[in-house]
Amino acid sequence: MKPFDSILAALNEIAAVSGKIDKQKLVEKHLKDPDFERVVVLMLNPFKRFYIKNFEPQTAAPSQWNAADAYDLFERLANRTLSGTDARVACGRMVAAGFPADLMIRILTKDPKAGFGESTVNKAKKGLLPDFPYMRCALPKDAKFGTWAWKQGVISQEKADGMYATLNKSKGDLSIMSRSGTPFNPDSFPAIVADSEKLYDNTQTQGELLVINADGEIQPREIGNGMLNKVCQGGEWPKGYSAIYRAWDQIPLDQVYTKVKYNVGYAARLQKLREQIPSVALKDADAIAIIDTRIVRSMEEAKAHYAEMLEAGKEGTILSEPNAPWIDSTSKFKIKFKLTAPCELRVTGWRKGNGKNSELFGSLICESEDGLLEVAISGFKDAHRKEIHEAMDVWVIGSIVTVDSNMIMAPSREGKKWSLFLPRFAEFRKDKDKADTLEKIKEQFEAAISSI
C-alpha cells in the first residue's frame, strides 16, 4: 500500500491546518516526495480528466500490483482506453488490492480535499502545474474606442457579482474550475451539471457562479461567495440555497492553454453560445443562462446601460468590441466599467493580523462621523503596515483616512451598520479632523453615478 497510504496521510495533515502560510509550508515539504508530487499533478492538472467519479467495490484484487500499476491505471482512464463500467471495476480492484479508497475518490474527482489548489502548488514548485488561461478586462483609459465597430454593435454586459468559474465539457463529462484552475466538486452543483447537457462538447464556457435562495433571489457577493467557498471546501449548502451560472463566453477546449490567441470575434462566440443556452433564464430548470447583455451603438448608450446597472445595485458593466479575439492576457477590447468613489472615515480601532502580520494589525476599523457606517480596511504594504502599527496609539486611532470603494451597502439585518463594497485604503488625511456622515457618503455615490 506504500506509497499511497503516506500520500493520503500527507493530504490529511495539510487539511488539518487552517492558515495559508502553514499549508504552503506543508505542501513544499511533501512535494519533495516524487510520488506525492505525481499524485498532486493527477488531482490538480486541469487538462487531465478521468471521466468517472467513483469505483465499484470489488472483492477480487490483482494478484500482483505496485505503484507503477496504479499510475498506469490513471493514464488509461485519462486516454479513455479504459472507460465506463470497466473503468469503475478496475479502480475497485485496485482498492481491493490495498490502494486507499479515499485517495482513489480524491484523484477521480480531482479534489485533494486539503484546502489547497494550483496556485499553492505552483508557489511551492514553480511551473509544476499548467497556468489556467484567463482573459482580463482593461480600464477605459486603455481603450481606443474610436477604432471599435460601433455600427456593427458593441456588446455591453452586466459585471456579475459572484465567483468566476469555467464549465469544461469533454466527451460528455463536465468539470467546474475556479479562475486558478482548482476543481469544484460537480456533486455540489447538480442543477448546473444537469443543465450542462445543452453545452457543446469539447468546449470551455466562461462565466460566474451566483447563489440564489429558495425564492430565486440572487444573494449579495459577500454572502454568496462565502457560501460558495464553504461548499467548495466540502461543506453543505444551507437549506434553500443553491448555485446558478451566468455565462458570457466560450472557446474550444483545445484552445485552453497559456498565451493563446483564439481568432474568432466575440460577437461570433457569443452567438454560438446563444445557440446552446438562453439569453434569459425563463424557468427554474435554466440553471445556466447568458449574462444580461445589450447591444449598444454609441458610448452614450454604453454609459446609459452602466448607469442602469449601478442604480439597480449592480457592480457595473463590461464593454466588448464585437470582433475582438479571445486572448490569455489583458484585452484592450474588453473594458471594465466599474464605479469607484472615495469617502473620508475615522479610524476607531484595529484587528489583529494573521500569518506574517500576526505581530501587527490585520485591518483598521473605520466609521462615518455619525457612526452609522463601519468597514474594515486593509491593503497596506509591509513597511507601511509596520509604521502604522507602531503609531497606532500615538496618532492613528482617531485619525481620518480616505477610503476608495465600489458601492455603498445597506445593513443586512436590523441592528447592523451600513458598509462599503471592496473598501481600500487610499491615504491618511492629516489635514482633516472630521469624517463624512452616512448621508454625505450616499450623496457622493449618487454624484459619481450621475457623472457617468
Residue pLDDT tens, the chain, 452 long:
568 999 999 999 999 998 888 999 999 999 999 999 999 999 988 778 787 889 999 988 887 888 899 999 999 998 888 988 999 999 999 999 999 999 999 999 888 999 888 888 988 888 888 777 899 999 888 899 999 999 999 999 999 888 999 999 987 888 888 886 667 888 889 999 999 999 999 999 999 999 999 988 888 887 888 898 888 766 889 999 999 999 999 999 889 877 889 999 999 999 999 999 988 765 556 899 999 999 999 998 998 898 888 778 787 899 999 999 999 999 999 999 887 889 999 999 999 888 888 888 999 999 999 999 999 998 888 888 999 999 998 999 999 999 988 778 888 788 899 998 878 898 999 878 899 999 999 888 877 766 66
> Residue 389 domain-assigned?
yes
Pair (29, 116) in one structural domain: yes
Among 338, 373, 393, give the residue marking a domain's end. Answer: 338
Specify the CATH number for the domain of residue 411: 2.40.50.140
pLDDT of residue 353: 86
Sign of CA dihedral 246, 249, 251, 257: negative
pLDDT of residue 1: 53
Region for residue 233 given its phi and psi (left: phi exceeds 0; alpha: psi -120 to 50; beta: otherwise): alpha
Pair (234, 320) in one structural domain: yes
Which cell numbers in the block locate residue 308?
442602469
Beta bridge partners, 317, equal 158, 337
Please, how many CA atoms are within 13 Å of residue 221, restricted to the half-sphere of its CB?
Answer: 17
pLDDT of residue 451: 62
Among 322, 338, 354, give the residue marking a domain's end. Answer: 338
Pair (290, 330) in one structural domain: yes
> Residue 9 domain-assigned?
yes
Q: Outline where 323-437 has alpha helix (H).
A: 382-390
Looking up cell 464605479 gives 339
pLDDT of residue 450: 64
Pair (170, 280) in one structural domain: yes
> Residue 131 domain-assigned?
no
pLDDT of residue 414: 86
Task: Look at residues 332, 331, 340 and name the one whose alpha carbon lies nearest to residue 146.
Answer: 332
Pair (325, 393) in one structural domain: no
Beta bridge partners, 308, equal none
pLDDT of residue 335: 93
With b meaning 16 or more CB within 10 Å and e meaning fewer, what string describes 86-108? ebbbbbbbbbbbebbeebbbbbb
Q: Any residues with CB less than 8 A from the CB of 291 and at least 6 apart, and which?
A: 157, 158, 160, 207, 208, 246, 247, 248
Pair (221, 312) in one structural domain: yes
Pair (153, 272) in one structural domain: yes
Pair (160, 39) in one structural domain: no
Pair (215, 259) in one structural domain: yes
Q: How many residues would you count in the chain?
A: 452
Among 70, 90, 124, give the residue marking a domain's end. Answer: 124
> Residue 99 domain-assigned?
yes
> Residue 309 domain-assigned?
yes
Cβ contact 158:207 at 8 Å:
no
Specify the CATH number for the domain of residue 178: 3.30.470.30
> Residue 277 domain-assigned?
yes
Pair (425, 399) in one structural domain: yes
E strand segments, 95-143: 136-138
Cα separation, 22 vs 14, whole angstroms? 8
Pair (434, 313) in one structural domain: no
pLDDT of residue 92: 95
> Residue 130 domain-assigned?
no
Cβ contact 249:154 at 8 Å:
no
Helix (H, G, I), strand (E, B) or coil at 348: strand
How many domains are there within the chain? 3
> Residue 129 domain-assigned?
no
Cβ contact 31:87 at 8 Å:
no
Q: Which domain holds residue 430?
A: 341-450
Pair (236, 365) in one structural domain: no
